[in-house]
Amino acid sequence: MHKKDKRLLIPQISGKWWSIAGNPDLGRYNREGQQPLDFAIWQAADQTWQMVACCRRTGCGGEGRLFHRWQTDALLKENWSPMGVFMEADPNVGETAGGLQAPNVIRHDGGYFMFYGDWINICAAWSRDGKTFTRLLGPNRLSALFTDGNKPSARDPHVMALGDKFHIYYTGISDDKGQIFCRISDDLRTWSESVIVNSGGSAGDGPSDAECPFVIHHPENRMFYLFRTHTVHNGEGYGTTVYCSSNPRDFGVDTDEFKIASLPFEAVRLVEHDDHHYVAALKPDLTGMMMAKLKWVTAPATGVADPE
């Protein structure tokens, strides 16, 4: 069923943004020009809210990336408390030194699964309390789950639970073209072969044009929404394109058929709390993260319009 066969809801920012985190103090790893980037937000077992972000251009060695953690007792508070360096890459389990990228956390079966990139592969870790994580290693004692594309660089994972299955969306590169891939699992450990679910279109097809995928299933119209970060082709940073589809494995390849909106923000994440959606994103100057309330508006009968 095509998206136009159901009532189309379009996401819009509602009200002002507020700051939830700034550029963290990394101690001995502090470097001029460091930037917090892709991040995850979730609620731990003790009900505190957690945020972990990849920080680049740090002094940790290798590719210069590591994870930092923040915490708050209330989602809507400003300026969450910085909790220090959270994780560094471990070459002993096959990870690229300084190569950690884009964490994502999902709660399942009494624990928390964290998925992240190690510069080449998608990897996973597990936690009982949602605050202290241990890597999940394969029989080969390595952390890699899989990679994709003919230039191995799988990154930016996001997992969506759907029925008794899990869909993992992530970025891969083939022939220097960025693409959004998807795999399916019953247990968050063993994953199907990949399919390409989105690429190209007006958002571009460069290696940085299909990043930070975030997918939700909207309960009202039962449609799937993909938020995809890409370069803005006037040369002014990054933006996010939103796609809507009835099929969680098809948001359009080399087409804008499912495009419904554009947002001038990077690394968009949605958080549901007290029956409301909130949106978090990188600050435009890449000095931290910000949050705002999100609302869903019905598309006009005459067509689909981008939100302001």
Q: What are phi and psi of 203, to 5 degrees?
A: -75, -10
Collapse the DSSP code of 136 into the 3-class scheme (helix H, G, I; strand E, B; otherwise coil) and give the result: coil
Give pLDDT tens digits for 102-142: 999 999 999 999 999 999 999 999 999 999 999 999 999 99
Please state, for a pLDDT cut of 90, what percent of the chain lies above it. Answer: 88
Distance CA 268, CA 287 (A): 15
Distance CA 151, CA 23 (A): 31
Give pLDDT tens digits for 17-71: 999 999 999 999 999 999 999 999 999 999 999 999 999 999 999 999 999 999 9
Confidence of residue 301 (pLDDT cuts 50, 70, 90): very low
Distance CA 93, CA 141 (A): 6
pLDDT at residue 156 tops 80: yes
> How many Cα atoms sit within 13 Å of 269 on the Cβ side?
28
> How many Cα atoms sit within 13 Å of 266 on the Cβ side?
22
Nearest of 129, 120, 281 to residue 212 by alpha carbon: 281
Burial 248-266 (b: 16+ CB within 10 A, else e): bebbbeeeeebbbbbbebb
Mean pLDDT over 84-93 rounds to: 98
Both tokens of residue 305? 């319009």
Spatial contact of 113 and 135, defined as CB atoms under 8 Å apart: no
DSSP string, 37-86: EEEEEEE-TTS-EEEEEEEES-SSSTT-BEEEEEEESSTT-SSPEEEEEE
Q: pTM score, two decimals?
A: 0.94
Does 3-298 carry CATH code 3.40.50.410?
Answer: no
pLDDT at residue 97 tops 60: yes
Nearest of 290, 260, 249, 301 to residue 53 by alpha carbon: 290
